[in-house]
Amino acid sequence: MKKILGVGNALIDILLKIENDELLNKLNLLKGGMQLINSEKVAEIQRNFDMSDAKMATGGSASNTVNGITRLGGKAGFLGKIGRDEVGEFFMQDTLHNGVVPHLSYSEQKSGTCTVLVSNDGERTLCTFLGAACELETADLKPEMFDGYDIFHIEGYLVQNHDLIHTAVKMAKEAGLLVSVDLASYNVVEANLEFLKSIIVDYVDVVFANEEEAKAFTGKEPEEALIQIAEHAYIAVVKIGKDGSFVRSGDAQHTIKPYQAECIDTTGAGDLYAAGFLYGMTIGLTLDKCGLIGSFVSSQVVEVLGAKMDDPTWEKINQQVERIVADVK
């Protein structure tokens, strides 16, 4: 079995449900996007809620992905940065609890948090205080961190740090790893378009995008965007929400069916799709089966608040994954 190393923002998610989107307008937040905020903005947002209703869990896109991989039975590590505080200790212990090998460095800053505002339609608006997470830098990267891994998975939110990502992908390639990137958010793609294009052309083997991110990257609708991305990456994946996803490698293209779900919160859907897909790759499955596992795992996470699922849900997921692997209809 192949092993995956993820790199991303080490965050604790704080999940809050909102009754309507008026609050987003009041707080000048872009619905469905990711906004970087400071500690004062965190306090302003939280003043609008009874924080005893908040749900907390380890988060960050790549962290969610590698946690999902280990819950599926895979092997994974995570590279990130935390503070020397209770939030950082919570992140470390939860990472270990989920069977992920931590490659964490420390900062004197507070650990990062992501306040997730969940609308009634399941859409989530991310308000990210990076804190210690944003201090991950090239000096924290060591070639030996990549030893023993086969795939290096990058969350798109990190691409704003061009030097870090450029150094990381060079190290990964020198160590013989495939490189995977999740484009993460359409506004991040728009703000870092030229850098993303250069990185994908030169270093990236697997690209994950939803339809908004794919359009921001290519200016095209899902299937045309898929074809364009696949001209530069070995594997291109474009997710189209409740309508499923497309996977393409070379001239081979697959349409992946969606699984029906009662969506209450889309937080983590893309992260867990990537977890299922990459897990399939680690055990040598065909790309259509990788897509089916990603599709099923993502359908389960949208039925819960946040990106973490309980043990009974994971038992159900693993039973279905076994059927997909065995090709039982």
What secondary structure does DSSP assign to 106-141, as a single string?
EESSPPEEEEEEE-TTS-EEEEEE-GGGGG--GGG-
DSSP three-state, residue 245: strand
pLDDT, one tens digit per residue, over 70-104 is: 999 999 999 999 999 988 998 999 999 999 999 99
- Name the band, by pLDDT with cuts 50, 70 and 90, for residue 123: confident
CA–CA distance, 57 with 202 (Å, rounded to integer): 35
pLDDT, one tens digit per residue, over 228-248 is: 999 999 999 999 988 999 999
Nearest of 261, 246, 253, 251 to residue 292 by alpha carbon: 246
The helix or strand, by DSSP H or E, that contains position 104, with its residue range, turns out to be strand 101-107
Q: What is the average pLDDT score of the chain?
A: 93
Question: What is the Rg, in whole angstroms, of the alpha carbon atoms belonging to the chain?
Answer: 18
Look at the block and give the residue holding tokens 């004062």. Answer: 40
Sign of CA pseudo-dihedral 96, 263, 255, 158: negative
pLDDT (average), residues 294-299: 97
How far CA 2 is from CA of 12, 266, 273, 280, in Å, comes to 28, 28, 18, 10
Nearest of 96, 93, 89, 131 to residue 114 by alpha carbon: 131
Q: What is the pLDDT at residue 328?
A: 53
How deeply is 260 buried, as exposed, middle or buried, from its count of CB atoms within 10 A (0-12, 13-18, 19+)? exposed
Q: Hey, what CATH topology would domain 3-8+61-96+134-326 get?
A: UDP-N-acetylmuramoyl-L-alanine:D-glutamate ligase (3.40.1190)
pLDDT at residue 4 greater than cutoff 70:
yes
pLDDT, one tens digit per residue, over 10-30 is: 999 888 999 888 999 999 998
CB contact at 8 A, 80 and 133 = yes
pLDDT at residue 213 greater than cutoff 80:
yes
CA–CA distance, 181 with 158 (Å, rounded to integer): 10
- Name the band, by pLDDT with cuts 50, 70 and 90, for residue 124: confident
The helix or strand, by DSSP H or E, that contains position 14, with its residue range, turns out to be strand 11-17
pLDDT, one tens digit per residue, over 96-122 is: 999 999 999 999 999 999 999 989 888
Which pTM value belongs to this model? 0.90
pLDDT at residue 56 greater than cutoff 70:
yes
pLDDT (average), residues 306-318: 92
DSSP three-state, residue 86: helix
- Name the band, by pLDDT with cuts 50, 70 and 90, for residue 249: very high
